[in-house]
Structure 1
Amino acid sequence: MSKAKVGIIGCGGIANQKHFPALKNNADLNEIVAFCDIIEERAVKAAEEFGAADAKVYTDYKELLADQNVEIVHICTPNVSHSEIAVAAFAAKKHVYCEKPMSHSTKEAEKMVEAWKESGMQFTVGYQNRFRPEVQNLHVACEKGELGDIYYGKAHAVRRRGVPTWGVFMDKEAQGGGPLIDIGTHALDITLWCMGNYEIDSVTGSVFYKLGGLKQATEGNLFGPWDPETYEVEDSAMGFVKMKNGATISLEASWALNILESREASTTLCGTEAGAEIHSGMSYSKNELIYNRGRNNQLMEETLSPVGGVAYFGGGGGEEGSIDCRQWLLAVQNNTEPLVKPEEALAVTKVLDAIYQSAKENKEIKF
C-alpha cells in the first residue's frame, strides 16, 4: 500500500505541536513530502526533522499546490488565510485538512465548502477534541438517547489567565478574533456534536475588551506577561444560541477572566433522563466525565476513571491528535467520510461569527 503524500502549509506552532508529531505517529500511512512557510528557515527545519528524504521546501503556498507529488494538504496558517488557501487547494485537486476554525467569517467558510463540493476531494477541520475518550463516551451516550431529550447545553472555554503570547494570536487582522474563535470553537464543536443538533435559530452575544489592555492583568499569565499595547482582540466573549427545536446553548470563552474555575474544551449537557459534564482545563489535573441522574429515589453521579491530558504544548502530538490524524488518512485512502464533517465545522463558524456580529450591532442575529 502506497503512503499518502502530505504537504504542510504553515510550519509554526500548531504544525510543530500537533500536525508533525501526529503525522509522524502515523508514518505507516503517510510521508510529508513538502513544507511551506513564509519564513523559509522554519520550513527547512521542519523538513529536516519530519520530512521524507527528498522533501521540498517552499515559501509560496501556490508553488506547493502546483507540486503534483502532493496529494493531501494540511493548512496550519492564521485564520484569515484558511479560505484562500483551501479554495486554491481544492482547485488543485488536493485533499484538505484545515486547522480550526474553518475560517474567521461565515462568508469565507461558505466559499471553502462550495469549493470542496465542486472538487470531489476530501475535507475536514481540526476538531481533534472529539477523539478524547470522555468525549467519545458522551457522544455514544447521547446517540443512544441515554440523556433523553437534550434541551440545554453549555460550552466552556474559560481560562483564568492563559493568553497565548506567541505567534499572531493577539493580531485581530490575522486571526479575526481572540479566545472565542481560538478555544471557544472547540467547546462549541463538542457541544453541538454531542447534542447532534445543528439547526440554529438565533444567536445573541457579548464581547469584552476589558483585561487585554491592562498591564496589571498580565500577572500570573500561564505563558508569561503579554504586551497590552499589542493586544487587539477580545479577552472574553459570551454567547446564547437558540436552536430551532427550542433547545439552547450558552457559550463562554476567555483567555483572561477573574474567575476561579478554568474549564476549557468542555461541555455541560442537560437532558430529560440525565445530565453530563466534561471537566477539562487548567483547573483539572486530568479530564473527567460525570453523568448525573436520579435513581432509586436518590441523586446519583457516575464517573469514568480519570483519563487524558491537556493540549499540545508539550509537542508530542497528543493521543487524540494522532487518532484524529489516522482516521483522516484512512478516510482519504478509503474514500469514506472523516469524523469531522465540513458542514458541522461551518455551523460552528456561523455561530462564532454571529456572536461577534451580535455584540457589534447590539442585536439578536436570526439564522
Structure 2
Amino acid sequence: MEQIINVGIIGCGGIAQGKHLPSLANLDYVNVVAFCDIIPEKAQALAEQYGTANAQVYEDYHEVLKREDIQVIHVCTPNDAHAEIAIAAMEAGKHVMSEKPMAKKAADARKMLETAKATGKKLTVGYNNRYRPDSLMLKQLCERGDLGEVYHAKAHAVRRRAVPTWGVFLDGDKQGGGPLIDIGTHALDLTLWMLNNYEVHSVTGSVYHKLSQTPNAANAWGPWDPEKFKVEDSAFGFITMKNGATISIDASWALNVRQPDEAKCTLCGTKAGADMNDGLHINGEDLGNLYVKEVQLGGSGVAFYSSDHDEKPEFMEMRLWMEAIINDTEPVVTPEQALVVSEILEAIYTSAETGQTVYF
C-alpha cells in the first residue's frame, strides 16, 4: 500500500499498550510518530518500543494536534477526556479513533458526532468485539434472515469477581460509571449491531452498590478498597425499541453468579435463536423437533470482512479503520451507532437515579 499514515497516540496506558499499538505495528503502512501522556515516562517507553526513529514524546496533547504531518489521532485516555480531545483533533484536521465508550456524557458524544459532520473527518469508537469470528458469523446470519425477526435480545457483561483496581476505573468523575460504562458498553454495542436497530423508545434501569462496600480478597486483581470504590458494582437495564423489540442488559464486575459472561449477546427471533455462550449456537425447531446447532468457526465459514480467519480481532479492527481512511469509506463502527450506545447507558443511570423510565 503506497499511502503512509502517520498516527499520534494520546494516552499511553493499558489500552494503548495492549491493543492499539501492537495492532498498528502489524500494518506496514502506518507509522506512530507521536506519543502523549501526562506521565512522560509512559509515553517515552512506548515511543521506544513502537515509534518511528524520530517519534516525539509530549505531555500536552495540543502540541500533537499542531503537527501537520499527522493524519490520525487515537484517543486512549480516561472517559472524561474522550470528547475534548477528539473534538479538538477533528477541528485540527485529524481523523479520530476514540476508545470506548464514545464519551462520559451523551451530550459530549453528540458534540463529537456534530464535529465529525462539520469537519468532514472520520470518527470511530473502539468496539473491538465486533471483529471476533463468532460476532462476524452471527452478524452474517442475522443479515441473511436466519433468525427471522429478532424481537428480544440480552446483552451480557457479567464478571463474578473481576473488579479492575488499577488506574481510574473506580473513579466516577473520570469514568462516568463502573461496569455498565466499562464492559456493558461492549455488550450493548454488539447487541444493537446484531439487531441493526438504533431506534430507542424507552429505557428503565437499576444500579447497585452492594458488593463494592465489602473488601474481597477473591478478586482477580486483588482486593478492592471500599473507600475508593465510587462507582456501581452492578447495573441492569431494560430497553424497548420503537418497533417493539426489547433488550435487557446485565453489567457487573462482581456478582454472585456461577457462570460469568462478558461481551456476548443472546438473540431470540421468530425463526431461531442464537447465543454466544461457550461458542456460537443456533437453536430452533424443525419438523416438530427442537435443535441446537454449534457453529464451527474456521476455514469452512463464509468470510464477512476478510478471508483471513486467523487475523486477530484487534488487528482486523485497526486494518479496517485505516482502510476506511485510505478508501474514504464509512468505518465499521459509525459515530451515529456509538452515540446511541452512550445515550442508552446514560439513560440507565438516569432511570436508576430518578426511579423513572426514560423516554427517547
How many pairs were matched up?
Answer: 347
8 Å contact kept, 2:79–2:104: yes
Q: Which residue pairs with 1:14 in the alignment?
A: 15
Q: Which residue pairs with 1:128 in the alignment?
A: 128
Q: Which residue pairs with 1:200 in the alignment?
A: 200
CA distance in 1, matches of 2:203, 2:100: 21
- Identity percentage of aligned residues: 52
Pair 1:346-2:344 in alignment? no
CA distance in 2, matches of 1:91, 1:123: 12
SS of 2:81's equivalent in the other structure is helix
TM-score by length of 2: 0.95
Q: Which residue pairs with 2:26 in the alignment?
A: 25
SS of 2:212's equivalent in the other structure is coil
Tell me which moved more, 287-296 or 110-119: 287-296
Q: Structure 1 residue 101: deviation in Å? A: 0.4
Q: Which residue pairs with 2:329 in the alignment?
A: 336
CA distance in 2, matches of 1:97, 1:86: 8
SS of 1:257's equivalent in the other structure is coil
CA distance in 2, matches of 1:304, 1:164: 33
Tell me which moved more, 265-274 or 223-232: 223-232
CA distance in 2, matches of 1:306, 1:112: 37
Q: Which residue pairs with 1:50 in the alignment?
A: 50
8 Å contact kept, 1:29–1:329: no
SS of 2:52's equivalent in the other structure is strand
Q: Which residue pairs with 1:240 in the alignment?
A: 238
Paired letter, 1:22: S
Pair 1:264-2:257 in alignment? no
CA distance in 1, matches of 2:297, 2:123: 33
SS of 1:288's equivalent in the other structure is coil
Q: Structure 1 residue 166: deviation in Å? A: 1.1
CA distance in 2, matches of 1:209, 1:4: 45
8 Å contact kept, 2:75–2:96: yes
8 Å contact kept, 1:116–1:123: yes
CA distance in 2, matches of 1:306, 1:6: 33
Paired letter, 1:153: A
8 Å contact kept, 1:290–1:304: yes
CA distance in 1, matches of 2:292, 2:182: 32
CA distance in 2, matches of 1:115, 1:205: 30
8 Å contact kept, 1:71–1:95: yes
SS of 2:250's equivalent in the other structure is strand
CA distance in 1, matches of 2:223, 2:244: 43
Pair 1:109-2:95 in alignment? no
CA distance in 2, matches of 1:306, 1:67: 44
Q: Structure 1 residue 39: deviation in Å? A: 0.3
8 Å contact kept, 1:4–1:29: yes
Q: Which residue pairs with 1:36 in the alignment?
A: 36
Pair 1:302-2:293 in alignment? yes
Pair 1:355-2:356 in alignment? no
CA distance in 2, matches of 1:54, 1:115: 31
8 Å contact kept, 2:200–2:240: yes
Q: Describe the superposition over 1:222-254 as per-residue Cα deviations: whole angstroms up to 9, x where unpaired.
A: 111111211100000000000001000000000
Paired letter, 1:23: L
Q: Which residue pairs with 1:185 in the alignment?
A: 185
Pair 1:290-2:281 in alignment? yes
8 Å contact kept, 1:13–1:167: no
Which one of 288, 295, 319 corresponds to residue 326 of structure 1? 319
8 Å contact kept, 2:148–2:269: yes
CA distance in 1, matches of 2:316, 2:96: 17
TM-score by length of 1: 0.93
CA distance in 2, matches of 1:219, 1:292: 39
Q: Which residue pairs with 1:282 in the alignment?
A: none
Superposition misfits of 4+ residues, deviation over 3 angstroms: none
Paired letter, 2:285: G
CA distance in 2, matches of 1:324, 1:268: 23
Q: Structure 1 residue 220: deviation in Å? A: 1.4
8 Å contact kept, 2:11–2:76: yes
Pairing of 1:83-232 with structure 2 (within 5 A): 83-215=83-215, 218-232=216-230
8 Å contact kept, 2:134–2:297: no
CA distance in 2, matches of 1:321, 1:167: 22
Paired letter, 2:219: N
Unpaired runs of at least 5, structure 1: 280-286, 308-317
Q: Which residue pairs with 1:3 in the alignment?
A: 4
Q: Describe the superposition over 1:100-155 as per-residue Cα deviations: whole angstroms up to 9, x where unpaired.
A: 00011111100100111111111110001000010111111111111001100000
Q: Which residue pairs with 2:302 in the alignment?
A: none
Q: Which residue pairs with 1:312 in the alignment?
A: none
SS of 2:244's equivalent in the other structure is coil
8 Å contact kept, 1:66–1:92: yes
Q: Structure 1 residue 306: deviation in Å? A: 6.6
Tell me which moved more, 297-306 or 46-55: 297-306
CA distance in 2, matches of 1:306, 1:93: 40
